[in-house]
Amino acid sequence: MLRLKNINSYYGQVHALRNVSLHLAKGEIVTLIGANGAGKTTLLNTLSAVVPARSGEILFQGEEIVAHPPDRIVELGISHVPEGRQVFKPLSVEDNLELGAYLRYLKKEKAAIREDLEMVYSLFPRLRERRKQMAGTLSGGEQQMLAIGRALMARPKLLLLDEPSMGLAPLVVQEIFRVIENLRREKGTTVLLVEQNAKAALSMADRGYVLETGRMILEGEASELLENREVQRAYLGKEKKEIWER
Amino acid sequence: MDLLQQLTQYAFSGLSTGAIYALIGLGFAIIYNATGIINFAQGEFVMLGGVLTHFFLIVLKLPAGVAMGGAVIATTVIGALFERLTIRPLKRPTPLSLVIITIGGSIFIRGVAMLVWGKDTQSLPPFSGEEPITLAGATVMPQHLWIFGITLLVIAANKFFFYYTIRGKAMRACSFNRTAASLVGIDVRKMVLLSFVISSAMGAMAGIIIAPLTMTAYDVGVMLGLKGFCAAIIGGMSSGFGTVLGGLLLGLLESLGAGLISSGYKDAIAFIILLLILFIRPQGLFSKAQTERV
């Protein structure tokens, strides 16, 4: 469904992605883990064309999308839930969701948008309770739900999630991860999940990639990566001692 | 005429010029919120509204409605071209270069207007008669009422656009967070263009409704633009009620100052207020901790 070949991208002056390649099959949940500054966010920004790639190829459903502007990418079915949620704080919850379907509004798909709004509200009932509130008044968890809901309003085929667990209580993280799994099960949505919470991400995902200072250093089945000693040491917070003593 | 009557009189004329400042100020604020640019060519849109109406109405002898509509449309087209030709082509815009471009643009527009229509001051007939009406002891020109009415209408239309239409909401989203806006598929460049379209249309309307009172010429945009800028600063660059109140307040103070102290200080008052606000409360009088932008 998605294939990146030898992508090079810059974050300001920094060469943030070096010859990165990655692929996703339809309906997969793939996670991308790595330390701070490894280039995970830049990778998602490159995919959604916020930071255009300097070189390389991105194929989405067989179409070359590397030169597309951001709105065209959304139109093709890639929605990006950005790091730090970035909801439109001065706007109401419902306005945020409507804007998620902005391009579909321009195409006059009003009835279908109504249905999707109901769908998002049933996924996240708390958003329905707060639909008239300004998004800035929501808690962190609710803002994350709103950011995901907003992305879903575009009916994405591929959902890019940037650290949805950041700064949230474990129970809220569980709820959000459950929704992501349901989405895949019920709608077949493909998910690329960037996480620092490597353990949670790898336990949900099918496959994983490990990014280190702009290079893809490992890839494999999620279960393999969970067992991988290097991954355990670097990203799962296990001490060397623990690993060797097993 | 006793003092109270005098005050009512000043209040009426002050509020009606204030309404004009508010309209111009809203134009500043809308572009600022969409782009971060202070568009110093905003005053020229006001000038074009008046001058073009004069041209269509008096020179080409078109019916009043057509002349005014035509002036608004023509000014809007010029506003859109202005964005397309000067703002969009910039590869790496910095706030300073953008501001200088708008100043350059305003000088250019003014110069062309002078070449085309000359330096003479032109007057426009009022919309409905010159018979003054007595209201609460004050004499009011019908044109003042037109100004209030049209300003109210424009503000209401603005509010409706920004709060109840998807494009308006998209513009607000864009002014809050451009990256997030482009991630939901909003074309930020279109929103910038749209902000110029709206602002130039509003500027033209302000220029048309004030022309019958103050006359119009190729250079009226300078002062009116600065006054509108002042209103927007008092309102904290919000394109909501802050700027409207800012405009009304400015008009009121100007008119009271001119009436009670000396009419020679009329323009000075506006700029003293502007400086005071910038020194003491640069976030504007009516803004909360965080300004409601757009």
In degrees and rounded to multiples of 5, residue B39 shows phi and psi of -90, 95
Q: What architecture does CATH give domain B3-114+136-280? A: Orthogonal Bundle (1.10)
Average pLDDT rounded to a whole number, residues B62-86: 95
Per DSSP, the residues of A215-238 read EEEEEEEHHHHHH-HHHHHHHS--
Of B231, B196, B215, the closest CA to residue B18 belongs to B231
DSSP B263: G
Contacts A78 to B, Cβ<8 Å: none
Helix ranges (DSSP H) in chain B: 3-35, 42-54, 64-82, 95-117, 142-164, 166-176, 178-183, 188-214, 220-234, 241-260, 266-280
Sheet (strand A55-60) strand order: A14-24, A2-11, A55-60, A63-64
- Check whether B290 has a pLDDT greater than 50: no
Q: How confident is the model at residue B250 (pLDDT cuts 50, 70, 90)?
A: very high
Contact B289/A at CB under 8 A:
no
User: Could you tell me the fold of the domain covering A2-86+156-245?
Assistant: Rossmann fold (3.40.50)
ipTM for the whole complex: 0.90
Angle between helices B42-54 and B64-82 (to 10 degrees): 150
- Closest chain B CA to residue A101: B184
Neighbours of A14 (CB within 10 A): 12
- Check whether B194 has a pLDDT greater than 50: yes
Contact B184/A at CB under 8 A:
yes
Neighbours of B173 (CB within 10 A): 28
How confident is the model over A16-64, as pLDDT tens digits? Answer: 999 999 999 999 999 999 888 889 999 999 999 999 899 999 999 999 9
Distances (CA, A) of B190 to A8, B177, B193, B194, B197: 29, 15, 5, 6, 10
For A182, the token pair is: 């349901």
Q: Name which of A79, A96, A98 is nearest B166 (Cβ-Cβ).
A: A98
- Check whether A10 has a pLDDT greater than 60: yes
Q: Name which of A80, A96, A102 is nearest B186 (Cβ-Cβ).
A: A102
